[in-house]
Structure 1
Amino acid sequence: MSKKNSNIIIVRKKKGHGHGHHGGSWKIAYADFMTAMMAFFLVMWLISQSSPEQRHSIAEYFNMPLHVALSQGNRSSLSESAIPGGGDDVVKQEGEIQKIDLRKIERNRDRKSLNKARENLEQIIQKDPRLSDFKSNLRLSMTEDGLLIQIVDSQERPMFKVGSKDLEPYMRDILNAMVPVLNQLPNRINLTGHTDSLPYARGEAGYSNWELSSDRANASRRALMAGGMDGNKFLRVIGMANTMSLADSTPDNPINRRISILVLYQDKEKSILQKDTLLQDLSAAAGDQKNNAGFNISNKTGE
């Protein structure tokens, strides 16, 4: 055979390398995934250990980080740092971002105001001759509802004439001495009359301790107004008879014959007014239903 007619066949063989490792990129991806998972679980743990106020602050920071940065952390909470504990001193607590509870702020402001009023009254009791002789008859205390001022009887010094709503002259002096302090406060007051458990001479069916305690409360209200008290400061004037004896006293003890002046926290005042409004609405609705029922009955009768 001639060399010119022969075909040259070239066979190329590729050596197999198996699947190999495809490089090290998968390691980087895996490391990123594990880092993300660790960060996720760390965040979840921190959230579980933090208070609702702290979680709110963190969320608020990440919602508006630029605003916080531009204001240098100075927001409604007057924080000095955008990050809790931030600043030159890493353990510094002052200036940390906190959720602002307006009701709590108002209550704290109210508490300071009433505490100041209590201090003023205590000073007046010490210095004013109208009150200094009656220290044992005057009791001041802070309660969850406000500043409680109690003017109590003693066996030797009743504040009212026996079995009567008429005030003794020194009781008028005591009330008048309190008017300037009470008028300076924006808070309204509950004025309550109390008696001991001794039955009234005319019996429960007639004029009783209920009427007597109510009449004494109203007599005290009139005396306060005569001394210059603003009439709008009274929220409630009520009589409780002998239903609320003082602690560590027998029901017939003379100290249970007393007048209580409760200077209300302003949020407590709002709560009372809301409840009263609700009761008025319920009463009005009940009255409308009764009127409608009567109208329907009359219509049927007319038919």
Structure 2
Amino acid sequence: MSGARPIIIRRKKIVHGHHGGSWKIALADFMTALMALFLVMWILSAASQEERLAVAEYFSTPLVVALAGGDKSAASNSAIPGGGPDPVRKEGETARIDMRTQTRPTDEQRRFFMDLQRRIEEVIDADPLLKSLRSQLRFDLIQDGLRIQVLDTEQKPMFNLGSDVVLPYMRDLLRAMAPLLNELPNELSISGYTDSLQYAGGTQGYSNWELSVERANASRRELVAGGLDPDKLLRVAGFADRAPMPETQPNDPLNRRIELLVFFPEVAENVRHPTVLAGQLGSPTPTSARQQQGEQGKPVDQFLQGIQKTLRSE
């Protein structure tokens, strides 16, 4: 047996291959992006309304303008020039740009309105009697201009209930705002709003329509008494309870409010001279009107002719 060959058992060693840790890189990228997202959300939540508008203005600027400079309102977002029947003349692009510049405030207008808001708030905060009304003021930059809303509350109503008598603190607030509004060249409108509580007589007699208009007109008188140039007023209107505040019930006291709207110049021009759209519906031509009247009058003529024949036969 000494010459027998030894039995050799070969055992294959299994080695687990290393994947290089690529999943760690993917996880790190994901965590970095998530941290950046939460950081942006935190910054936006802590930013003021003016800072948010500035950020929105920055991201709305086309890249070509940001890199090369120039007028952002004249830049096109389209890779195809023009868009009208003649791409070289850019007729379609011109129409689109005109619409955008009319519905979007310029940086200068935005700065003027932000300065007006700041100065109004400073005047109110400096007066102990008016400071309690700070929470009833709301400023919004909308498509037509700067909207200043004075809201009513149960504790601090602006008018006597159901009347246009301005209460003393509301009068002082309007008169304090008048000189600041007078410094801007922009024209403005005054609108009155009410809640849905109706008068006993309903809408047949004195109603919320008359009340909203009279409250707006009473506010106009207080502004003029405070130094506002009467020529700056372009419109005084009342909307009754037809335009409630968002996310409020129709009878909510917040719907009793006065709205001052400082117009953009182009909006004021459109209010003064409304634009006539091409292809408007016109009145029928005299010929077609006569034809229509003749067709509608045929049964009447036939009826009259029948009466005349009956009278002659008798």
Settle same-fold status: TM greater than 0.5: yes
2:221 maps to 222
The answer to whether the 8 A contact 1:179-1:227 is kept is yes
1:158 maps to 157
1:197 maps to 196
| Cα distance change, pair 125–94 in 1 and its aligned pair in 2 (3 A) | farther
1:264 maps to 263
C-alpha displacement at 1:131, in angstroms?
2.1
C-alpha displacement at 1:278, in angstroms?
5.0
The answer to whether the 8 A contact 1:110-1:266 is kept is no
Q: How does 1:175-186 map to 2 (within 5 A)?
A: 175-186=174-185
Residue 106 (structure 2) pairs with residue 107 (structure 1): yes
The answer to whether the 8 A contact 2:178-2:227 is kept is yes
| Cα distance change, pair 95–125 in 1 and its aligned pair in 2 (3 A) | same
- After the TM superposition, list the runs of 4 or more consecutive aligned residues in structure 1 that deviate by more than 6 angstroms: none
Deviates more, 1:106-115 or 1:205-214: 106-115
Larger Rg: 1
Cα separation, 2, equivalents of 1:215 and 1:163: 11
- 1:4-26 alpha-carbon deviations (Å, 9 max, x no partner): xxxxxxxxxxxxxxxxxxxxxxx
Cα separation, 1, equivalents of 2:71 and 2:114: 28
1:89 maps to none
Q: How does 1:1-303 map to 2 (within 5 A)?
A: 93=67, 95=69, 99=74, 103=101, 107-275=106-274, 278=276
The answer to whether the 8 A contact 2:137-2:151 is kept is yes
Number of aligned residues: 200
C-alpha displacement at 1:237, in angstroms?
0.4
Which residue type is aligned with residue 114 of structure 1? F
C-alpha displacement at 1:156, in angstroms?
1.4
The answer to whether the 8 A contact 1:242-1:251 is kept is yes
Which residue type is aligned with residue 147 of structure 2? L
Which residue type is aligned with residue 163 of structure 1? G
The answer to whether the 8 A contact 1:195-1:242 is kept is yes
Cα separation, 2, equivalents of 1:171 and 1:140: 17
Q: Could you list the runs of 5+ residues in structure 1 that have no partner in the other structure?
A: 1-84, 86-91, 294-303
Cα separation, 1, equivalents of 2:221 and 2:122: 25
Residue identity over aligned pairs, in percent, reads: 41
C-alpha displacement at 1:97, in angstroms?
8.3
The answer to whether the 8 A contact 1:191-1:260 is kept is yes
1:20 maps to none
Q: Normalized against structure 2, the TM-score is what?
A: 0.56
Which residue type is aligned with residue 237 of structure 1? V
Cα separation, 1, equivalents of 2:164 and 2:71: 56
Q: Normalized against structure 1, the TM-score is what?
A: 0.58
Structure 2 counterpart SS, 1:93: helix
- 1:87-111 alpha-carbon deviations (Å, 9 max, x no partner): xxxxx93556874889579733222
- 1:253-293 alpha-carbon deviations (Å, 9 max, x no partner): 11100100011111211222231x759xx9xx97xx8xxx9
